[in-house]
């Protein structure tokens, strides 16, 4: 039987709070640090490794985290999730995003529909459509091929798919797998849509409208913006648009679209990159074979998350160390620092994934919790970040745990040698140096040049960023966030916090305002 208890009611958490704190500069120095670096790592899918040697943990702390995982029933709760129990209590829904990339447990049937079959069927429909576009069987009104695909969506309909496209764009060019250039329109700011439309040939562009309900204000506004641009160019918009929506949406059977690909309420926006939300744009951009590789990487990482042993389950271990940092060590933030320019929008996706999921102050039953939950997530690629906010990370008054991501080889496979090393070697040298610098610091009589160290970090290391490793990376963080939500006993799968502003915005547009809302509306000339 699964018990949903608050974290502070768990004996293992009370015990964990009493565990002696690790002095990172001492344990990471010299041979001790070398031994930790060899010992404290966990294999991930697709040949990647999660190393936590520079985290503020030791065997005693890890023993406490293993007890916490068992008492919080993390494995049992994940099993309940993928077997179709109602885990999203806020919206009374199942949570099935894992099923878009594989069947982890029992068959899940809803309203007489096998959900795995449903997701596979949608993926097949997307693949068939993409192949016809690439083959020139689906063309524009002039009988010419489409060369660009533009996704219109916001939040999870934009951040994840955009981050994944950018992560694979150069890889695809090198592999000869870039079928169509992809662009994204998300912000209701008209300058966003205008900038994209001014950068493309609309006559040879295919637009994907992504809205589960078919009523998302920002997305429908941008759709109208695009339709006006197509009309002004003398083009039939219905020959240039497809939609990703729910079967019950007003968009589902509209003649305004060449095709409709379906999603359902069991997959939240921030978890939807492996559904048709990501599948349509990525299959059109790279080909359905590449999207399938991405799904396979995610599926392999999901399988590791089934393991009850935290030392064989990288996502669970990462999650538990994060809980320890948040709730025992008291660190309020986490920085995601990919040493890969291709992952330049990945931290933005993780911001939504983590902060929208676990930014909650009540538990699954609507009762206030008496402990901190999700951390603030931010980040930028290295080495750019080193010349920006690393000053605060190294010498600021707040300790910020760090999540590095690095790859041994570049995507392009070619490089230049300058001063006896390649660019990729310089990149990897920087991340290795930062891990030790943050952990160990450097003493100096000049206080301005003194580094206290004790800044914890982990790193995920892979051979190369490609569709499979990217899929595994995405699944790792999705599962990490899920496990942390289970420990904190919050519902990681609703997002009521985004609703209030939308409601008030509608009041402003309807001129139904008073008080401060009216004053600010007048100041903005609405």
394 is catalytic: no
Catalytic residue among 23, 303, 502, 506: 502
H or E stretch at 195: helix 190-198
DSSP, res 157: G
How far apart, in whole angstroms, are the C-alpha atoms of residue 524 and residue 508? 11
* 3-state secondary structure at position 477: helix
Cβ-based neighbours of 398, under 8 Å, separated by 6 or more:
331, 332, 333, 392
- Number of Cβ within 10 Å of residue 364's Cβ equals 19
Catalytic residue among 387, 408, 442, 449: 387
502 is catalytic: yes
Catalytic residue among 71, 218, 223, 356: 356
387 is catalytic: yes
- 477 alpha-carbon distance from chain centroid: 7
Query: Which ranges of 28-145 would DSSP assign to H, the alpha helix?
Result: 30-39, 59-71, 74-82, 115-135
What tokens does 391 get?
A: 């000053």
Considering only CA atoms, which of 311, 351, 294 is closest in space to residue 475? 294
Considering only CA atoms, which of 94, 113, 116 is closest in space to residue 104? 116
How far apart, in whole angstroms, are the C-alpha atoms of residue 43 and residue 66? 17
Q: Could you give the dihedral angle defined by the CA atoms of residues 380, 381, 387 and 389, in that order, rounded to the nearest 10 degrees?
A: 20
Cβ-based neighbours of 308, under 8 Å, separated by 6 or more:
70, 75
- b/e code 270-297 from CB counts within 10 Å (16+ = b): bbbbbbbbbbbbbbbbbbbebbbbbbbb
Catalytic residue annotation: 356, 387, 502
């Amino acid at each position: 039987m699964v018990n949903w208890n608050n974290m502070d009611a768990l004996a293992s958490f009370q015990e964990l709070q009493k565990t002696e704190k690790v002095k990172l500069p001492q344990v990471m120095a010299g041979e001790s640090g070398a031994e930790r670096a060899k010992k404290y790592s966990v294999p991930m899918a697709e040949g990647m490794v999660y190393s936590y040697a520079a985290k503020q943990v030791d065997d005693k702390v890890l023993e406490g985290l293993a007890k916490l995982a068992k008492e919080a029933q993390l494995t049992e709760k994940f099993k309940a999730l993928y077997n179709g129990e109602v885990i999203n209590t806020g919206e009374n829904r199942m949570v099935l995003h894992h099923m878009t990339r594989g069947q982890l447990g029992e068959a899940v049937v809803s309203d007489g529909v096998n959900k795995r079959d449903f997701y596979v069927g949608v993926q097949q429909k997307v693949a068939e459509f993409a192949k016809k576009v690439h083959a020139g069987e689906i063309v524009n009104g002039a009988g010419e091929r489409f060369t660009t695909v533009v996704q219109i969506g916001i939040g999870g309909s934009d951040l994840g798919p955009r981050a994944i496209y950018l992560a694979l764009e150069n890889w695809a060019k090198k592999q000869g797998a870039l079928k169509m250039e992809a662009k994204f329109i998300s912000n209701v700011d008209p300058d966003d849509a205008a900038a994209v439309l001014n950068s493309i040939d609309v006559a040879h562009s295919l637009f994907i409208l992504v809205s589960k309900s078919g009523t998302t204000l920002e997305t429908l506004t941008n759709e109208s913006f695009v339709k006006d641009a197509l009309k002004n160019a003398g083009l039939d918009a219905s020959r240039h648009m497809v939609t990703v929506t729910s079967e019950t949406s007003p968009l589902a059977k509209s003649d305004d679209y060449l095709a409709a690909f379906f999603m359902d309420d069991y997959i939240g926006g921030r978890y939807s990159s492996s559904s048709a939300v990501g599948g349509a744009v990525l299959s059109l951009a790279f080909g359905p074979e590449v999207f399938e590789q991405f799904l396979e990487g995610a599926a392999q990482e999901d399988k590791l998350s089934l393991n009850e042993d935290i030392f064989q389950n990288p996502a669970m271990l990462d999650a538990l160390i994060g809980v320890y940092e948040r709730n025992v060590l008291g660190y309020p933030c986490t920085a995601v620092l990919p040493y890969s320019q291709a992952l330049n929008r990945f931290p933005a996706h993780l911001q939504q994934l983590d902060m929208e999921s676990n930014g909650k102050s009540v538990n699954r039953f609507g009762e206030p919790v008496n402990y901190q939950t999700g951390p603030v997530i931010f980040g930028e690629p290295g080495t750019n970040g080193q010349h920006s906010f690393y000053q605060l990370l190294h010498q600021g008054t707040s300790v910020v745990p760090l999540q590095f991501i690095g790859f041994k080889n570049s995507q392009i496979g070619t490089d230049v040698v300058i001063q006896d090393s390649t660019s990729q070697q310089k990149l990897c040298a920087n991340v290795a140096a930062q891990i030790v610098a943050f952990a160990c610091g450097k003493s100096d009589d000049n206080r301005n040049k003194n580094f206290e160290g004790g800044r914890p970090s982990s790193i995920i290391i892979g051979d190369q960023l490609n569709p499979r490793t990217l899929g595994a990376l995405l699944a790792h963080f999705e599962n990490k966030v899920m496990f942390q939500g289970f420990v904190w006993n919050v519902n990681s799968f609703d997002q009521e916090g985004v609703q209030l502003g939308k409601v008030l915005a509608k009041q402003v547009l309807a001129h139904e305002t008073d008080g401060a809302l009216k004053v600010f509306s007048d100041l903005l000339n609405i």
